[in-house]
Structure 1
Amino acid sequence: MPRPKTKPELLDRSQENFKKLTDFIAQIPEKGKHQEFPPGTLNRNIRDVLAHLHHWHLLFLGWYKVGMSGQKPQMPAAGHTWKTTTILNSEIQKKYAATPLTNIEQDLHNSFLALQKIIKAHSEAELFEKKYYGWTGTTSLGAYLVSATSSHYDWGLKLIKKVTRN
């Protein structure tokens, strides 16, 4: 499915992919929701995948708050560059390792709603015109939102489907 290029596409796809992800997880028996993934994946279970999605929502929300205040946010996170996202993702996995799945599910739902609110608050131009906001660099606010929402939910669903089929 192509990346969203308009506000309605971004809203629809982010909501649709989030629903696909959460509906798929809801149909997994409780025991299966806590099953460890096979070796070779950073995220070791469903909780890890959902925590990863939630934390990247929080990263975006932080960038947005700083950027919209006229400052340049540290992206992707303090002490990291885009080249060190593997290390950042490992830190995220460790941070939430002891958090119960139900807590992560609620946190993810809440951060999802916060991103939906941002999408709805912006015009088409504000979302998809490159360089509209100085803090987004050479890209658009919408491109960051696509990555934090619809594309990321699709990644999470594919990973969970792949490992739960085995």
Structure 2
Amino acid sequence: MARPTNKESLITLSQSSFNKLLSLIDNLPDPKAEFPLGTMNRNVRDVLGHLHHWHLLMLEWYKTGSKGEKPVMPAIGYSWKDTPALNKKIWEDCQSLNLQEVRQNLMTSYGKIQELIDNHTNSELFEKKKYKWTGSTSLGSYLISATSSHYDWAFKLIKKASK
């Protein structure tokens, strides 16, 4: 499916990509198995934790931006060029949790992201420069990155690693 350009396609693609990912995981012979060497995210838990934390970042950016403030992106203490270090920190934070806990966290943050999308009109989501905090892009663009694009990345990583 093409990159969403309206609310309906954003909802459809984010939900279908998420469900496709969960279906892949649910059909793995051993979702707790370690992936082959070569990726930082070494198992399904790590990947789902990564998605959950990026949901939380998106929600925080939105909350801060909605107050008329400029959110720190991607996170306090990190610039966009530091994304690998941020992802490593996210990975470290997930190590004390089990797959079931991380999956439940992801389901909760996914629900909050879907609610955020549902609560906006098409123009609120896709009009560029509508919100000062999104700069020259749209809220929808941020949400695509936090949902369908990220779910596709996770699907491809898990599928490749589980072969």
Scaled by the length of structure 1, what TM-score is found? Answer: 0.96
Structure 1, 20-29 or 48-57: larger mean CA deviation: 20-29
Deviation sequence 1:64-122 (CA, Å, 0-9, x none): 11100111100000011111101100110011112010001111011001000010111
Question: Any residues of structure 2 matched to 1:121-140 within 5 Å, and which?
Answer: 121-140=119-138
The separation in 2 between residues aligned to 1:94 and 1:35, in whole angstroms, is 18
The separation in 2 between residues aligned to 1:44 and 1:25, in whole angstroms, is 14
Gaps of 5+ in 1: none
The separation in 2 between residues aligned to 1:163 and 1:109, in whole angstroms, is 22
Aligned equivalent of 1:74: 72
The structural deviation recorded for 1:34 is 1.2
The separation in 1 between residues aligned to 2:150 and 2:120, in whole angstroms, is 21
Please, what is the CA RMSD of the aligned residues?
Answer: 0.7
Aligned equivalent of 1:33: 31
The structural deviation recorded for 1:37 is 1.0
Matched, 1:65 2:56: no
Deviation >2 Å, runs of 4+: none
Question: Any residues of structure 2 matched to 1:8-47 within 5 Å, and which?
Answer: 8-29=8-29, 32-47=30-45
Q: Which of 100, 103, 106 is the aligned partner of 1:105? A: 103
The separation in 1 between residues aligned to 2:2 and 2:50, in whole angstroms, is 23
Deviation sequence 1:16-61 (CA, Å, 0-9, x none): 00000001101113xx211111111010100000000000000001
Aligned equivalent of 1:50: 48
Gaps of 5+ in 2: none
Aligned pairs, number? 163
The structural deviation recorded for 1:154 is 0.6
The separation in 2 between residues aligned to 1:34 and 1:122, in whole angstroms, is 37
SS in 1 for 2:116: helix
Scaled by the length of structure 2, what TM-score is found? Answer: 0.98
SS in 1 for 2:62: helix
The separation in 1 between residues aligned to 2:154 and 2:26, in whole angstroms, is 14
Letter in 1 for 2:2: P
Aligned equivalent of 1:164: 162
The structural deviation recorded for 1:2 is 2.1
The percent of aligned pairs where both chains have the same amino acid is 53
SS in 1 for 2:162: helix
